[in-house]
Copies of this chain bind each other. A is one copy, B any other.
Amino acid sequence: MTRIELYDTTLRDGMQGEGMSLSAEEKLRVAHRLDELGIDLIEAGFPSSNPKELELFDLLSRERFGHAAVAAFGMTRRRDVTAAEDPALRVLAECFAPVCTLVGKTWALHLEKVVKVDREENLRMISESIAFLVGDGKRVVYDAEHFFDGFHDDREYALQCLRVAAEAGAESVVCCDTNGGTLPDRVAAAMADVVATLGPTGVRVGIHCHNDAGCGVANSLAAVQAGASHVQGTMNGYGERCGNANLVTVIPNLQLKLGYDCLTGAQLGSLTGAALWFDELLNFTPNPDKPYVGRNAFAHKGGMHVAGVAADPSTFEHIDPEVVGNRREVLISELSGKGTVHARARDAGIELDDGNAARVIERVKEREHRGYHYEAADGSFELLLRKETGEYEPLFRLESWRAIVEKRADGRVETEATIKIWVDGERYVRTAEGNGPVNALDRALRDALGEIYPHLRDIDLVNFKVRILNETKGTGAVTRVLLDASDGDAVWGSIGVSENIIEASWEALVDSLEYGMQVGRREEKTAAVPRS
């Protein structure tokens, strides 16, 4: 099994993506998480492009990593100085990082129109910059920018850029599809040529792809199959435009399907958790459709799939989800059969006889007809199961609520909600303000319940979606509200449907908190150590 060197550039190229923002401390956490996952090289950025980067390298220099090496990033020397005189190269040489990654030009179009350097001088810039850092004891990775465009334009020159890099002592030369629009057939052909040409130098050949043609993953695979053994990418494909090659997809493809050696079994089994952790840290809603690690990646709908998977999972699953730390999801819909309902009940630890299952299916059908949709509302579905089996415990009894939104004569908008509820024979009346009616209701309700159920304070509403059904009825349409909530560990969905948007939101809100308390109770039962 060929060992593939995994190079993560989330902290440098990934940070170019929209909405990517991390403090130096958070970047340090990223580095540790990448190290735990089994990444070999962690590109951390340029050690002095701004104070935050300097702080990061200062922090990194004092850390120990179990497996990974830190790479500092920079460019080949400027055209008018020697390598030793180039201030940026000196920063790299003085940096603690054992690995330096240098990017340089390969494509004549860029030499002419962007940097205005002639071809011979460019070769010297590559060669001298690498030799300088190697002479200083650094391991050097050379990133050949726009390699595939350059190769297509002038094969000889593109290969020569790589050859001088290898001869100057680079450990790896990496072919970059910087504009991201190259398709797999071209990547495969060019890489085969590169591997054949550079074979005698003994240099490691690498690949760095972007996703502008939707082929970032496939291009990385094609390169490895053509002989590359170093793969650059980012967690979850973060990066500018359409993102970088997604290592979270590339790794299981290489290891589980093509037989390359990337991670240990335990590391691979942590992949889903790692992918979610990164989204969480960056405050992105995880894409449920992500290959391998998405919530829907192994979701089954409809009776035939569920029956087939029961007979033999490989009938409908391309891999065993547990190998990447994911799990099978059986989605509930009006098309679902009894088997599906039973499977979900088992997951929730609810005993269900066939009569109950049939009633649940009837109830789901009837409610879906009215606009409910349980696929993304696992929390509400579990509450429905509990209601049918008599295992449901309401958090409170509602007397009434009222929400008032007022645009005042001075232009200010004020929102206030009052709830009146009963818990254990006691009446609670609470009023709260909010930046909208649902926010105000949420605050008033938690204000009352938080005293009784402290676990509710850990629950955050992380996602709020409103869908108007029968949209063609305008504001007289039925509203479906989906809420996602989380207590930091689990994430669950709830749903409310009503002609009145506030009533629909209230229903979803109550389900969300009631299910959250079920989760809390379950955790209390199973956890030896109380949650902080």
Contact = CB atoms under 8 A, between A and B. Distances in A.
Interface of A: 16-19, 21, 23, 25, 109-110, 113-114, 179-185, 211-215, 217-219, 221-222, 225, 237, 240-243, 246, 249-250, 253, 257-258, 283-285, 287-292, 294, 296-299, 301-302, 304, 307-308, 311-312, 314-319, 331, 373, 375-376, 398-409, 413, 415, 420, 434-439, 442, 460-472, 474-477, 479, 483, 485, 498-503, 505-506, 509
Given A242-B291, A476-B439, A502-B436, A109 B375 contact: no
A198 B289 CA distance: 35
Contact of A290 (B242, B289, B292, B401): B242
B297 A501 contact: no
Given A184-B221, A243-B289, A291-B242, A21 B406 contact: no
Given A19-B376, A21-B373, A407-B400, A439 B296 contact: no
Nearest to A243: B289
Contacts of A467: 21, 283, 466
A183 B464 contact: no
Nearest to A248: B214
B405 A502 contact: yes
Given A215-B217, A249-B214, A435-B476, A407 B413 contact: no
A214 B246 contact: yes
Nearest to A258: B183
Contact of A316 (B179, B214, B287, B485): B179
A477 to B, nearest CB: 6
Contact of A296 (B25, B242, B296): B242
29 contacts: A18-B289, A21-B467, A23-B470, A25-B472, A114-B304, A179-B317, A181-B257, A183-B257, A213-B249, A214-B291, A217-B218, A241-B289, A242-B296, A285-B472, A399-B409, A401-B407, A402-B404, A403-B404, A405-B500, A405-B502, A407-B503, A436-B501, A437-B502, A461-B474, A462-B471, A462-B474, A463-B471, A463-B474, A466-B479
B471 A464 contact: yes
A401 to B, nearest CB: 5
Contacts of A299: 18, 240-241
Contacts of A509: 475
A109 B23 CA distance: 51
Contacts of A438: 475, 501
* Interface residue SS majority, chain A: mixed
B253 A214 contact: yes
Given A407-B506, A437-B405, A308 B400 contact: no
Given A413-B498, A462-B471, 13 more contacts: A113-B311, A184-B222, A212-B318, A213-B253, A214-B218, A215-B221, A217-B218, A283-B472, A434-B475, A439-B476, A461-B474, A461-B475, A475-B505
A253 B183 contact: yes
Contacts of A301: 16, 240
Stoichiometry, copies per complex:
2
B398 A402 contact: no
Contacts of A181: 257, 318-319
Contacts of A483: 474
Contacts of A291: 211-214, 242
B296 A472 contact: no
Contact of A180 (B221, B318, B413): B318
A146 to B, nearest CB: 8
Given A249-B213, A405-B437, A308 B113 contact: yes
Contact of A400 (B113, B408, B415): B408
B308 A183 contact: no
Contacts of A499: 435-436
Given A406-B402, A499-B436, A501-B501, A110 B315 contact: yes
The 9 closest A-B pairs by CB, nearest first: A181-B318, A461-B474, A218-B218, A466-B466, A214-B249, A214-B217, A214-B291, A435-B499, A439-B475
A276 B110 CA distance: 34
A254 to B, nearest CB: 10
Most B-side CB within 10 Å, residue of A246, A442, A477 = A477
A113 B464 contact: no
Most B-side CB within 10 Å, residue of A246, A298, A299 = A299
A407 B289 CA distance: 38
Nearest to A418: B406
A314 B315 CA distance: 46
A462 B468 contact: no
A35 to B, nearest CB: 21
A375 B17 CA distance: 10
Contacts of A435: 476, 499-500
A56 to B, nearest CB: 16
Nearest to A210: B318
Contacts of A19: 373, 375-376
B404 A404 contact: yes
A307 B116 CA distance: 12
